[in-house]
Copies of this chain bind each other. A is one copy, B any other.
Amino acid sequence: MRTVTIADVAKHAGVAVSTVSYVLSGKRAISATTSQRVMRSVRALGYHPNAGARALASKRSNVIALVLPLRAGMHLPVAMQFATSVVTTARQFDHDVLLMTADEGPDGLRRVAASALVDGLVLMDVEINDLRVPLLRELEEPSVLIGFPADASGLTCVDLDFARAGALCAEHLASLGHREIALLGAPHVVYQRGTGYAERTMEGFVEAGQALGLSAIALPCEEGFDEVCATVKTLLEGHPGLSGLVVHNEAAVGHVLGALRVLGRRVPEEVSVVAICPGDVAERASPPLTSVLIPAADVGHQAVRLLMSKLEGAPVPDATLLEPRLTVRQSTTPRL
């Protein structure tokens, strides 16, 4: 069963090859009758344009790269959500997605770009000092970053506004009358690496807390149950008046609740807890957690939209920050 080519369609429809091409691409006006005839042939023969030939002739592969480094401390489910929303959105723009990891390093990016395998790139989990960033500036291919490197000039970046997310948590707790609050963040390693979002959340939290006249402290948090327990215990002992806790660490969220249970602090009666995490984690906890959810799907969607604009030569903003939204559930309550 030889595969069907555009020539087969043309013959079947009794038109020229170029006419079929124009019907399919819409780049020139074709009469309705011809167009219909061609489309009927396309369906009758089950024609699918050959991707390689198309790419060669048009200099567009209709594929974008999704570069997804996998590092300690990053949360896989969120990464997965990003990835799927990128794929789904790309498909809406008639593009496919090539999945790349960081194993190959910058050379991998150079390879796929130079070989014209992809038309553009979406990079996830961008670090403050990311090796891939300087390369992006050299590349012909447009790119969009999810996250912000130290120097974002000339780049297109998208992310949740984590500073605002941190601030939102502080404000929510303040509005409930809490006066001493704390944020438990990512593991140490994440900060050492300089992954911007973790730091920005802390800063936003602490600054907003102080601006509201609260005692607000932030500290990293490892992900083992025993470590979480110890951290929470020390925290509570050092700050007896502490009544509001923000957790920005998905692996630790469950453990924090377990720790509070073990330490005999009831949630929310004695300690109000806010999580910054995906919705399902928050809902699945006991009690269901008031949370700021990470809109992974939105971020992925925006990233692709921006990339598509760049591919069409349209101007796009350098920075896109998504507004966080706080959902109140049963883990926060006014301070007694």
Contacts and interface: CB of A to CB of B under 8 A. Distances in A.
Interface of A: 1, 3, 46, 48-56, 61, 63, 66, 68, 70, 76-77, 79-81, 83-84, 87-88, 91, 96-101, 103-104, 108, 110-112, 114-117, 140, 223-226, 229, 251, 254-255, 257-258, 261-262, 283-286
Contact of A223 (B76, B81, B87, B284): B284
A3 B258 contact: no
Given A52-B116, A53-B56, A87-B103, 19 more contacts: A1-B140, A50-B115, A51-B116, A52-B54, A63-B98, A66-B99, A68-B84, A80-B80, A88-B103, A91-B103, A98-B98, A99-B99, A224-B285, A226-B286, A251-B284, A254-B254, A258-B258, A258-B261, A261-B261
B55 A83 contact: no
A203 to B, nearest CB: 27
A51 to B, nearest CB: 4
Contact of A98 (B53, B96, B224, B262): B96
Given A51-B116, A114-B46, A254-B254, A99 B97 contact: yes
B91 A80 contact: no
B284 A115 contact: no
